[in-house]
């Protein structure tokens, strides 16, 4: 396979993109870009998987487990191999020396081949992501397809760059005055840490999974993929493609393997403490993320946990744009993104806008109206909201109405194709930043379509609350609307000091909850919501070590 000719230009372009941070992607976002029969072929391929065993030919398979049930209702009926770890883990180590010796460039090119085969099957992946995460089709297509592939490629580019900063060899000659110089011949090898464990999440199996998977693989590690039990398929498909490419390029298939678990098995906890596991990537609850950081001491642990995302609303010169931008952010995927705003901090005396001053009540009512208008049509609502991913989200949504005055009640939406899907519009609840009871509500993550319109005394009060929220609870995103240069500067300062990613005055087609690979960092790694950012040098540079061998020249 001519990997260099095919993929080296893409790698170079990715390296350029992460340096310039300009827009770039090799993965088309439009479903029609995948060929005339792409959509039909993808759907057929997805359907062919349903109700069957997902064979992977892994060593040590001691049973079969599954099957997932789509948040849209249908049972997927797929069974996945369950591993005997004492057989699988040693088998995964067998091919590591060859993979290491192949070097950083070859590994990057093999990763790019894997990604390009995933890209070619984006339609099939879209259905798999939709029916495991509950995302609407178009979001599953884009976020689960090209955007996830972008994040994988970004990780490969960073990994390649970090591993090639030290040359493979160097001659070292130290002058000794009149005597002969001291001379050494040195070699430097990027050596992997061991087996990496990817613990996938329910909501974004590929988007949140690919960075860690490809960062670890590109740095020479083997990768064991432990998907969320409700979202196995997209990662199982990924593992199958990776294994195929590895074999075709002359490597051991077992460098990438799947670890599906039996219901209630909790295998992640067992795996996390195995001495073979040297790297862990995790997206999920703060409780388990903290547990991993504390107990998986033999491993490098990268976690994305819960946070409380805030939008400070001080003033705007585009009130209408602000409302529609916020309405979209609150609605997309029923607020089930780690980046969805939760707390909207609004001065109780109201805000200045281009259409005159607006009271707190007016802002909240106008936002509620904006959401209602956006989601008034059921077809559009279904296309934006997707389904609630699990019953816990539904329970939280229902409980939220009891926390305060409901400014916008949630509405049930019927899905014409999937009548069992639980589709709900977001609820907006009014809370008071000065009331301790209310603070207890808005200061913890309420994952799902729930937002709090929090009345604050002033912009200064909002900034103080923002700082406390980021510091104590973490945040994946912060948004702010202000026409005051002084307040803009102050909110920037809070974000710089508390390490939070800030979006300012977004009123158009970019949303606070979306980031673009190669340009935007996802999370900062500097507040409690996550200990790593996607993707930077720190995300890859500790997944390998440089081992030096020096000889007298």
Contact between 297 and a second copy per CB under 8 A: yes
Contact between 508 and a second copy per CB under 8 A: yes
Q: How far is the CB of 497 from a second copy (least distance, A)?
A: 7
Cβ closest to a second copy, residue 220 vs residue 234? 220
Cβ closest to a second copy, residue 308 vs residue 389? 308
Q: How far is the CB of 81 from a second copy (least distance, A)?
A: 28
Q: Site map for a second copy, 164-183, x if CB under 8 A?
A: -xxx--xxxxxxx-----x-
Separation in Å, CA 337 to CA 411, 416, 494: 19, 24, 23
Pairwise CA distance, residues 446 & 396, whole Å: 7
Cβ closest to a second copy, residue 297 vs residue 402? 297
Pairwise CA distance, residues 461 & 303, whole Å: 31
Contact between 550 and a second copy per CB under 8 A: yes
Q: Site map for a second copy, 338-377, x if CB under 8 A?
A: ----------------------------------------
Task: Give the DSSP H or E segment for 302.
Answer: strand 300-304
Tokens of 24: 């770039």
Cβ closest to a second copy, residue 367 vs residue 535? 535
Contact between 502 and a second copy per CB under 8 A: yes
Tokens of 134: 């509950």
- Which residue's entry shows tokens 């992460």? 18
Do the beta carbons of residue 258 and residue 234 sit within 8 Å? no
Q: How far is the CB of 506 from a second copy (least distance, A)?
A: 6
Pairwise CA distance, residues 322 & 324, whole Å: 6
Contact between 33 and a second copy per CB under 8 A: no
Selected from 193, 228, 230, 358, the binder of a second copy by CB under 8 A is 193
Cβ closest to a second copy, residue 212 vs residue 229? 212
Of 454, 490, 406, nearest in space to 308 by CA: 454
Pairwise CA distance, residues 352 & 368, whole Å: 18
Note the helical H segments in 249-335: 267-272, 286-295, 319-331
Cβ closest to a second copy, residue 436 vs residue 509? 509
Cβ closest to a second copy, residue 8 vs residue 545? 545
Pairwise CA distance, residues 239 & 245, whole Å: 10
Contact between 492 and a second copy per CB under 8 A: yes
Which residues have C-beta within 8 Å of that of residue 427, sequence separation ≥ 6?
A: 397, 400, 401, 406, 408, 409, 410, 449, 450, 451
Q: How far is the CB of 512 from a second copy (least distance, A)?
A: 9
Using CB under 8 A, list all residues that contact a second copy: 18-23, 97, 100, 162, 165-167, 170-176, 182, 184, 186, 188-189, 191, 193, 293-294, 297, 492-493, 495-497, 499-510, 516, 519-521, 524-526, 533, 536-538, 541-542, 545-552
């Amino acid at each position: 396979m001519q990997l260099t000719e095919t993929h080296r230009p893409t790698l170079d372009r990715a390296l350029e993109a992460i340096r310039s941070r300009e827009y770039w992607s090799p993965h088309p976002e439009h479903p029609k870009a995948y060929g005339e029969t792409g959509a039909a072929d993808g759907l057929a391929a997805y359907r062919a998987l349903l109700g069957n065993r997902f064979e992977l030919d892994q060593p040590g398979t001691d049973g079969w487990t599954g099957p997932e049930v789509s948040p849209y209702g249908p049972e997927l009926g797929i069974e996945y191999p369950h591993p005997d770890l004492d057989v699988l883990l040693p088998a995964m180590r067998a091919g590591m020396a060859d993979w290491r010796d192949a070097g950083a460039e070859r590994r990057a090119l093999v990763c790019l081949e894997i990604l390009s085969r995933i890209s070619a099957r984006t339609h099939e992946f879209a259905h798999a992501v939709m029916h495991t995460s509950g995302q609407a089709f178009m979001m599953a297509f884009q976020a689960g397809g090209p955007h996830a592939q972008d994040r994988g490629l970004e990780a490969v580019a960073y990994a390649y760059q970090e591993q090639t900063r030290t040359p493979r060899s160097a001659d070292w000659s130290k002058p000794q005055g009149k005597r002969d110089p001291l001379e050494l011949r040195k070699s430097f090898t990027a050596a992997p840490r061991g087996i990496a464990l990817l613990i996938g999440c329910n909501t974004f199996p590929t988007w949140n999974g690919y960075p860690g998977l490809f960062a670890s693989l590109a740095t020479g590690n083997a990768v064991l993929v432990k998907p969320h039990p409700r979202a196995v398929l997209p990662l199982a498909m990924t593992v199958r493609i990776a294994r195929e490419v590895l074999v075709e390029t002359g490597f051991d298939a077992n460098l990438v393997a799947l670890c599906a678990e039996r219901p209630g098995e909790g295998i992640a906890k067992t795996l996390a403490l195995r001495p073979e596991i040297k790297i862990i990537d995790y997206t999920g609850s703060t409780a388990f993320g903290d547990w991993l950081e504390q107990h998986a001491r033999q491993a490098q642990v990268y976690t994305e946990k819960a946070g409380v995302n805030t939008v400070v609303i001080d003033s705007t010169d585009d009130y209408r744009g602000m409302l529609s931008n916020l309405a979209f952010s609150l609605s997309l995927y029923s607020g089930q993104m780690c980046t969805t705003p939760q707390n909207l901090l609004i001065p109780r005396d109201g805000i200045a806008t281009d259409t005159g001053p607006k009271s707190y009540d007016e802002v909240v009512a106008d936002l509620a109206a904006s959401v209602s208008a956006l989601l008034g049509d059921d077809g559009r609502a279904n296309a934006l909201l997707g389904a609630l991913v699990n019953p816990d989200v539904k329970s939280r949504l229902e409980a939220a109405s009891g926390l305060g005055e409901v400014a916008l009640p949630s509405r049930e939406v019927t899905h014409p194709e999937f009548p069992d899907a639980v589709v709900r519009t977001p609820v907006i609840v009014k809370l008071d930043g000065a009331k301790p009871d209310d603070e207890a509500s808005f200061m913890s993550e309420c994952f799902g379509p729930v937002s709090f319109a929090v009345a604050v005394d002033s912009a200064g009060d909002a900034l103080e609350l923002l700082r406390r929220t980021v510091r104590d609870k973490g945040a994946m995103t912060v948004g702010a609307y202000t026409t005051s240069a002084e307040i803009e500067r102050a909110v920037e300062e809070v974000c710089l000091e508390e390490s939070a990613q800030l979006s300012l005055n977004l009123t158009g087609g970019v949303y606070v909850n979306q980031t673009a690979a190669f340009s935007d960092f996802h999370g900062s790694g500097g507040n409690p919501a996550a200990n790593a950012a996607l993707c930077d040098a720190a995300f890859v540079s500790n997944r390998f070590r440089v081992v030096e061998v020096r000889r007298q020249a």
